[in-house]
């Protein structure tokens, strides 16, 4: 049995489910927002893997899971019968803790374990690891000091990006914090002191490259971000469905470094952002241990879903 841990509205997981069905592989999709509706049982006397979960008229024993893919799980939704903010918060944290404990019992059977994903999300660690493996990395500082920022901007063009949180959410709306080109005096000393930023030397791009690593395979796609003024600094900005995507052949050394970097973080899957500059040099920006990839498959035809299921089958066999 192969387990897909995700949420109801995760369309990317649908591609993996379709491929599992095409191969007639037994699988189960666990939409974790519904986990609070399950009946869960665990007894340590029976062994750390002996969890049973009954949901939607189906009961699974986690000890029978041969491989698992941690995709985009949602937060457990608490019953409206629970009244009071403190009580709802208590129930939410208890269900989240139970889910975490149950999933941790899957151990080495993950495509990417939740703990490995969490560890790999540290951007300062990513940059240091990439340099150690031989990637070119733009000159970078992580700071909340106006003095360091002013000095950095005096030495050349720079961009700023969040250290971790790129999404601002409240009850009524959400906003994405994109990579932004900086000018002298921007941001103000007062604003930079409030929270740290990643500041990097701006690279004169030819185009962006998204590398999706699955096991020992690295699928590379060019994103022609320089064709539109709004997407030149961050290709995610705006709604540009016409932005050209093409498959890209990485040089052998860059290909190997992408696979090695993924492996160094204890991952079997990653989405790596690179830049090719106008002189033909490749630059590393960051690695997303649980990044999106379905749009890359749609735009380029790269068989990413097939590779993910191949890897799940390898895990099952081992």
Cross-strand pairs, 62: none
What are the DSSP calls for 258-294, one per residue? HHHHHHHTT-SEEEEEEEEETTS-EEEEEEETT---H
Domain boundaries, the chain: 2-110, 119-136+204-302, 139-202
Residue 137's pLDDT is what? 96
Residue 243's pLDDT is what? 85
Q: Are 119-136+204-302 and 139-202 equal in CATH topology?
A: no
Residues 38-71: tens digit of each pLDDT: 999 998 887 788 899 998 888 889 999 999 999 9
Residue 167's pLDDT is what? 64
What are the DSSP calls for 112-147, one per residue? S-HHHHHHHT-HHHHHHHHHHTT-----EEEE--HH
Task: Tell me the CATH number of domain 119-136+204-302, given options 3.30.470.20, 2.40.50.140, 3.40.47.10, 3.30.465.10.
Answer: 3.30.470.20
Report the distance separating Cα 229 and Cα 38, nearest Å: 49
For residue 19, what is the enclosing H or E element? helix 11-22
Residues 7-16: tens digit of each pLDDT: 999 999 999 9
pLDDT band at 278 (very low <50, low <70, confident <90, very high): very high
- Distances in whole angstroms, Cα of residue 289 to Cα of each of 2, 33, 95: 20, 22, 24
Residue 58's pLDDT is what? 86
pLDDT(185) > 80: no
- Distances in whole angstroms, Cα of residue 32 to Cα of each of 36, 78, 226, 288: 8, 12, 39, 21
The CATH fold assigned to 139-202 is: Dna Ligase; domain 1 (3.30.1490)
């Amino acid at each position: 049995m192969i387990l897909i841990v995700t949420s109801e509205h995760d369309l990317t997981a649908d591609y993996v489910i379709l491929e599992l069905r095409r191969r007639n592989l037994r699988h189960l999709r666990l939409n974790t927002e519904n986990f609070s509706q399950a009946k869960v049982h665990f007894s340590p006397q029976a062994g750390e893997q002996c969890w049973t979960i009954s949901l939607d008229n189906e009961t699974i024993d986690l000890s029978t899971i041969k491989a698992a893919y941690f995709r985009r799980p949602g937060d457990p939704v608490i019953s409206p019968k629970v009244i009071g903010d403190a009580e709802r918060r208590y129930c939410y944290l208890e269900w989240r803790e139970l889910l975490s404990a149950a999933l941790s019992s899957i151990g080495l059977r993950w495509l990417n374990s939740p703990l490995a994903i969490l560890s790999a999300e540290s951007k300062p660690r990513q940059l240091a690891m990439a340099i150690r493996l031989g990637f070119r990395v733009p000159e970078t500082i992580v700071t909340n000091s106006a003095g360091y920022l002013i000095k950095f901007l005096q030495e050349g063009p720079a961009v700023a990006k969040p250290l971790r949180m790129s999404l601002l959410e409240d009850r009524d709306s959400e906003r994405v914090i994109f990579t932004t080109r900086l000018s002298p005096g921007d941001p103000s000393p007062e604003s930079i002191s409030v929270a740290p930023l990643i500041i990097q030397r701006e690279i004169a791009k030819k185009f962006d490259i998204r590398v999706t690593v699955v096991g020992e395979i690295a699928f590379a796609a060019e994103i022609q971000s320089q064709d539109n003024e709004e997407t030149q600094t961050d290709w995610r900005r705006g709604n540009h469905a016409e932005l050209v995507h093409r498959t890209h052949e990485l040089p052998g050394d860059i290909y190997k470094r992408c696979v090695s970097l993924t492996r160094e973080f204890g991952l079997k899957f990653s989405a790596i952002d690179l830049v090719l500059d106008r002189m033909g040099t490749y630059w590393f920006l960051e690695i997303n241990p649980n990044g999106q990839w379905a749009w890359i498959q749609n735009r380029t035809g790269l068989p990413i879903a097939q590779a993910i299921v191949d890897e799940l089958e390898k895990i099952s066999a081992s």
